[in-house]
Amino acid sequence: MNNWTKGILIFLISGGLLFGGIYIGLDWHTNNKDVSLRADFQAQDDVCKSYFKTMWSIIQDHAKVVDKTSDDFLKIYQPLMEGRYGDEGEPLFEWIAEDNPEYTLDAHRDLMVTINATRTQFHEEQKKKISIKAEHDKLRQKKPWKWFIDDSSEIVMMIVTDQYTEDTWESGRDERELEF
């Protein structure tokens, strides 16, 4: 075998090994990325489920406090006022400076802040899930990565929304009138 043939043979073997190594490396990298994104998506989906439960528990607990506070105030206020005034609505003790209990809307404000904060955080958690799915979709659809993925199936995603949003998205029209 002459030197020229040996050189070509060494070049072909080296090139084949290099190509094989690159191919195996790309295959491992792409499949590992796919596995990571699927695991990240499932974990984020679990976070969304957990946060959804927590969000509604917090809102319900705050709403119960507001209701209880309102009910308790009504229970004491009406008898208190009836005791201070006679049957004709005249004060029984004019010489006493009155200091009537006042009902504040602080509990209602706190409830609104809680609702806004927890819903915003839930939205942020869902956005993370959407981003992970988008990254996975790009991986499984873009060349050369799509050639190396063993499981090219799409991640199934459920977004928590309401019927009004679904109807609006389907029709393309937002006709809700805000009531205050």
pLDDT tens digits along 143-177: 888 888 888 899 998 888 888 888 888 888 888 77
Residue from 19, 25, 39, 23 nearest 151 by CA: 39
Model pLDDT for residues 74-91, shown as the tens digit of each residue: 777 666 666 565 555 555
The CB density around residue 133, as the number of other CB atoms within 10 Å, is 21
pTM confidence score: 0.61
Locate the domains of the chain by residue range.
41-159
Task: Report the distance separating Cα 51 and Cα 118, nearest Å.
Answer: 9
Q: State how far the Cα of 115 lies from the Cα of 117, in Å rounded to an integer.
A: 6
Determine the pLDDT at residue 73.
74
Residue 90's pLDDT is 59
